[in-house]
Amino acid sequence: MRRAARVVSSIVTLCVLAACGFDEARAARGARLDPVGLWYCLVYGEAAFGDWHVSLRLEPDGRVFSAWGLALGNREWRALSKWSVDDGVISFDDSRTRRRYEADLNRSTLGGTWRADAESGGWWCAPRDGALAAASAGLRRSAAAMAVPLVARSVKAPDYPRQAIREAREGRAVVCFLVDRNGFVVEPEIVELSDEVFRDPTLAAIEDSRFAVTDEPVPLRPGCRSYLYLLDVIR
Amino acid sequence: MGRWMFVSVAMLCVGGVASAQSGPDPRADSAGKTTIGSEHPTLAAGADAIRAGRYDQGIELTLQGLESEPGSRRVRAAALSNLCAAHAAREEPERAIEYCTQSLELNSSSWRAYSNRAYAHWLKGDYAQASFDLDSAALIAPKAPQVVTIRGMINEATHEPRIVIEEQQ
């Protein structure tokens, strides 16, 4: 009986963990991210329309659905291609935008790059609690919470590495991250980096940055920031 | 910091002591290093003194050696390059440039003389001329540590860093 209770307890625990798209323990152990679940994503890099938010739903059977912003009802979901994983990289296609989305599942959260004919960009997602989203009341609350925008409270500029100045090296770094309700940056990851010399100052700068605190019970919200390192010739 | 760095640079740019290797320096240039040997004791002593940071003594001995110890064009060019290095280490760029120029007139393939003259121009704040001389040194000895170091010093003086931040949210 006790053994059965322990088994049930373990199964329940596993189910709770599986319902969340983000498992800190898994990430800490270096295990691959489970992409199945609901995600609230920032998609950036579109030259014409800028950046926008989408919801993604990745089903265990391989189906992928997307919806603009915070999907509040079933009618808002649009089917994309099925997702597949090859050597730790998940990919799926959006035939309407002709984009191919890819993400490295060794990252701490779901996010990566998208490519279209002559364009490319990035995407970064925060997990949405599957249990909350299933209940309509919870969904409204979650949606409202998710709608709280990220407002930068302090933006820390990175220090230009002295070695890079001496070698006249310029470059670009894009870092994506999640922000908790206290405005702290969590789990920053470099998603684009033109030169390794800019990695440490970029991470240091984003970790020192702060966003506005919110009273809303928001889960983590995705954000990305790019840093362009330039050298102006002065004489 | 700059002066300390050049002391190290100058030491590396001093050409030849009796005990130095006689063949080409694989770290530096394909043109090789001119060894001022035992047949020029005063010049060799001058080079030693400059290398050890005794610039006044080194300058005096090298000037004496140039008068009393006739040598090949390459030996005289090396000695003049040493004088250039010593004056640059003493932050006397005008004298340094004078001696480096004389050295290059005798041996136009001396990357050390170009490098020393580049540093002297850097001291004066003439970064365009410093860069020009350093480019000449780099053509002969692109991987020479002194060339890399002085290039870094020029870049620091002539480049202003700027960072553009863009939010995606």
pLDDT in tens, B106-143: 999 999 999 999 999 999 999 999 999 999 999 999 99
CA distance A176 to chain B (A): 9
Strand order in the sheet with A171-179: A185-193, A171-179, A221-233, B159-168
Q: Where are the alpha helices (DSSP H) in chain A?
A: 2-19, 24-29, 130-134, 136-146, 162-166, 199-208
Closest listed residue to residue A131, CA positions, set A7, A21, A11: A21
> Shortest CB distance from B159 goes to which of A168, A225, A227?
A168
* Three-class secondary structure of residue A143 per DSSP: helix
When mean pLDDT is compared across A2-16, B92-106, B124-138, B145-159, the lowest value belongs to A2-16
Closest listed residue to residue B74, CA positions, set B27, B48, B124, B37: B37
pLDDT of B40 above 60: yes
When mean pLDDT is compared across A14-18, A69-73, B87-91, B132-136, the lowest value belongs to A14-18
For range A75-82, the mean pLDDT: 86
> Rounded to whole angstroms, what are the CA distances from B101 to A99, A154, A171, B110?
62, 54, 38, 11
CA distance B160 to chain A (A): 5
pLDDT of B24 above 70: no
What letter represents residue B168's amino acid?
A: Q
Please tell me the distance from the alpha carbon of residue A101 to that of residue A85, in angstroms, as a whole number: 12
This model of the complex carries an ipTM of: 0.77
Q: What is the pLDDT of residue A30?
A: 57
- pLDDT, mean over chain B: 83
For range B42-67, the mean pLDDT: 95
A155 contacts chain B (CB < 8 A): yes
pLDDT of B68 above 50: yes
pLDDT of B2 above 60: no
Q: What is the pLDDT of residue A139?
A: 46
A197 contacts chain B (CB < 8 A): no
For range B61-81, the mean pLDDT: 92
Please tell me the distance from the alpha carbon of residue A27 to that of residue A42, in angstroms, as a whole number: 21
Please tell me the distance from the alpha carbon of residue A85 to that of residue B25, in angstroms, as a whole number: 54
Please tell me the distance from the alpha carbon of residue B3 to that of residue B5, in angstroms, as a whole number: 5
State pLDDT tens for residues A139-195.
444 455 455 678 899 999 999 999 999 999 999 999 999 998 889 999 899 999 999
pLDDT of A14 above 80: no
- pLDDT, mean over chain A: 81
- Diameter of chain B measured on Cα atoms: 77
Q: What is the pLDDT of residue A7?
A: 53
Of the two residues B34 and B96, the one the predictor is more confident about is: B96
Q: What is the pLDDT of residue B153?
A: 97
Work out the angle between the directed axes of helices B93-106 and B73-89 (0-180°, nearest 10): 170
Residue A201 burial (CB count, 10 A) = 19
Closest listed residue to residue B143, CA positions, set B29, B6, B31: B29
- Half-sphere exposure of residue A166, counting CA atoms within 13 Å on the CB side? 11
A166 contacts chain B (CB < 8 A): yes
Q: What is the pLDDT of residue A8?
A: 52
CB under 8 Å to A121, separation ≥6 — which residues?
A: A43, A44, A45, A46, A113, A114
Interchain CB distance below 8 Å, B155 and A152 = no
* Three-class secondary structure of residue B63 per DSSP: helix
Percent of chain A with pLDDT over 90: 54
Measured between alpha carbons, how far apart are the two ends of chain B, in Å?
A: 43
pLDDT of A133 above 50: no
